[in-house]
Structure 1
Amino acid sequence: MKEINILILSAGRRVELINCFKEAARKLNIKSNIIAGDCSDTAPALYFADKTCELPRINEPNYIDSIIEACNKENVSLVVPTIDTDLLLLSENKSLMEQATGAKILISDEAVIRICRDKINTQKFLEEHNFGVPKMHSVEEAQKSNLEFPLFIKPKSGSSSINTFKVNNAKELATYLSLVDEPIIQDFMEGEEYTVDVFLDFDSNIITSVPRLRLATRSGEIAKGRIVKDKDIMDNVASLLNILKPVGHITVQLMKTQNGIQYIEVNPRFGGGAPMSIQSGADSCVNLYRLLMGEELSYNENYRENLTFLRFDSSICLDENGELVK
């Protein structure tokens, strides 16, 4: 069996994801190197990977060429993005990169990425296909006194809940409008918030769907979560993704409100909390290896529910030479 090497882009703090891929290779008895790529030589994930490669920053002109070079040097079979700012550039260059390397790029089509990365496009897509979404207001509408508060404001292309605010009154609205670039203003949603990890094969067939109740968050990422097999959520998300047709591991955020299921956003990549779903049995890393080996996968719900995950920080130590102290 040939070696199946995986390149994780912008590896940063994705230690859990690195370890999930390593464990998946061990389970399947596959020879595989997990290669962590990052622009910083102090990214923690580098010290947990089998190999590392230094990549330029995403906005540098040689970024794509550097990934191609790394893929060819390390005989990479799959390239996995992990941050939002990568996605559009990778989707635009997907065919070029795959032809130049023979590796699969785990990225949805450019049209899908343009819907997901621009929250106005996401809103329009959801409305056009009759999925629940809080009503969106123009800045002019929101500044009128006849709109009911609270509202919610967020940037059009933001991530990690940066510059997202609940708006309680007109004074707060004026303040937040001065802080948020290209703002989107919506009705404020109240209810239980869920993240749904969905894995789709390279033909956009859904293989697993795992709702996680968000019990606590930090900096926009889940800190505590519970796996729940909520069929209403799973069926609704399946209907959405069968129209959108992304590929790979997708992270869907939504709320169950008194008005039903309402969507927050769709992130077409591994989310920070993905290892929760992977450890519950919906193993996207194992699935990816199997797809790369030419296997056909079918939909299943073979994961444990009612598991509660509590995430925490850890640290590693480097000596004066930048070597890991064990």
Structure 2
Amino acid sequence: MYRILVTGIGGNVGQGVLKNLRKLNEDFFIIGINIQAVSAGNYLCDKVIKVPYAYEDGYVDAIKEIVKNEQVDLIIPTTDFETLYLSQAKISNLVTSPYDTNAVFVDKYQTYLNFKKCDIPFAYSFLPSEFHKEPKGDYIFKPKQGRGSRGIVINPSDLSSFSDDDYMGQKYIEGKEITSAFYVTKNGDLHGVISMYRTLVNGTTDSCSVTNDHEDKIIEIIKNIIKNFKVRGSCNVQSRVASNGEIIPFEINGRISGTNSIRSHFGFDDVRYIIEEYLHNTEPSPTNIINGSAMRILTDVIYPGVLEIEDVKGQTIKPILF
């Protein structure tokens, strides 16, 4: 039996990974970790352990202890900061790109600067203190690190709360948003790409549709990324389609992303590729992209007889999904 540790099970990324692992119908013992003892992801895990935030001093030591005590065979990180700090600590059995790559990808301003050096397209970005130098137009301000697509403010009237240490400005690009997941093998080869138009609610995908409208341009950008940065496993680049048809990335996630639960049904099963490569030591299955669309709905996880939700962590009762 393989023992797999999945981080961030309180979020949609971690829960997608858990669902895809269960879909494989293999003999896994899944250990979920989260900053809360109880979340919606608990019902998909065999064991759940509460840990500190990734940026807190005790986080890495807590993970090392879990890996040792639980005899973990594989770690799949699902948040930006966990990916960053675990790769920096060189935790064994971790599926991720090296720390140097993650340090660039987790900081959107550093991504802009590094992509510019490598002649890779990226939305024009700047520090809040430099805003007075910028030409007229629409801009967004957002956290430089992590947080996906959350914390965004469009054309703020007051910049006093946006510090150069924590925030960045970015030229707003009018046009459709495309999210493109890609998988890079242990050997550094591009295994496959899937792109979807999408709409977001509260920073996460609400609906999406598979597209190959701009496949050649997107693959060219991804190949350039892989050429200049050591990338391993599943990553995601988010772009806008400008009015002239140009594809302009504005963010990259150096980890598996939130649409993993959707795209596995459209021929791009990156969780399966991870298991095949890192547990079974086999070549990942071929991608077979098919057309389709998806929309997310709210699901209730019901625990009959459990008096307080905090008690779920000690229960073996199977929940009802509704």
Which TM-score bucket, shorter chain as reference? 0.7 to 0.9
Which of 264, 272, 275 aligns to 2:250? It is: 264
Q: Which runs of 4+ in 1 moved over 6 A?
A: none
State the aligned residue count: 304
How far the C-alpha of 1:139 sits from its partner, in A, is 3.7
- Corresponding position: 1:293 with 2:280: yes
Q: Which has the higher contact order (CA 8 A, sep 6+)?
A: 2
Q: Distance in 2 between matches of 1:182 and 1:53?
A: 30
Written as runs of structure 1 = structure 2, the 5 A alignment for 1:110-125 is 110-125=99-114
Q: Distance in 2 between matches of 1:140 and 1:284?
A: 40
Structure 1 length-normalised TM: 0.85
Q: State the one-letter code of the partner of 2:140.
A: F
Q: Distance in 2 between matches of 1:36 and 1:72?
A: 15
- Secondary structure of 2:206's counterpart equals strand
The equivalent of 2:16 in structure 1 is 16
Deviates more, 1:180-189 or 1:276-285: 180-189
Q: Distance in 2 between matches of 1:56 and 1:121?
A: 26
* CA deviation profile, 1:202-260 (whole Å, cap 9, x unmatched): 2322212111111x201111110011234222332232223222111111111121351
- Identical-residue share of aligned pairs (%): 21
Written as runs of structure 1 = structure 2, the 5 A alignment for 1:102-113 is 104-113=93-102
The equivalent of 2:290 in structure 1 is 304
* CA deviation profile, 1:102-158 (whole Å, cap 9, x unmatched): xx10121111011111122100111112122232344454225x7212122222214
Q: Distance in 2 between matches of 1:177 and 1:195?
A: 32
CA contact (8 A) 2:121 2:221 kept: no
The equivalent of 1:235 in structure 2 is 220
The equivalent of 1:101 in structure 2 is none
Which of 81, 86, 89 aligns to 1:90? It is: 86
- Secondary structure of 1:45's counterpart equals helix
- Corresponding position: 1:159 with 2:144: no
How far the C-alpha of 1:86 sits from its partner, in A, is 1.4
How far the C-alpha of 1:78 sits from its partner, in A, is 1.0
CA contact (8 A) 1:251 1:270 kept: yes
Q: Distance in 2 between matches of 1:158 and 1:65?
A: 22
- Corresponding position: 1:133 with 2:122: yes
Written as runs of structure 1 = structure 2, the 5 A alignment for 1:1-326 is 3-13=1-11, 14-24=14-24, 26=25, 30-94=26-90, 97-98=91-92, 104-144=93-133, 147-167=135-155, 172-173=156-157, 175-179=158-162, 182-214=166-198, 216-229=199-212, 230-232=214-216, 233-259=218-244, 260-291=246-277, 292-297=279-284, 300-305=286-291, 307-318=292-303, 319-320=306-307, 321-322=311-312, 323=315, 325-326=319-320
Q: Provide closer, same or farther for how the CA distance between residues 188 and 283 of structure 1 changes in structure 2, counting only shifts above 3 A.
A: same
CA contact (8 A) 1:195 1:213 kept: yes
Structure 2 length-normalised TM: 0.86
User: RMSD across aligned C-alpha pairs, in angstroms?
Assistant: 2.2
CA contact (8 A) 1:210 1:234 kept: no
- Secondary structure of 1:303's counterpart equals coil
Q: Distance in 1 between matches of 2:127 and 2:32?
A: 42
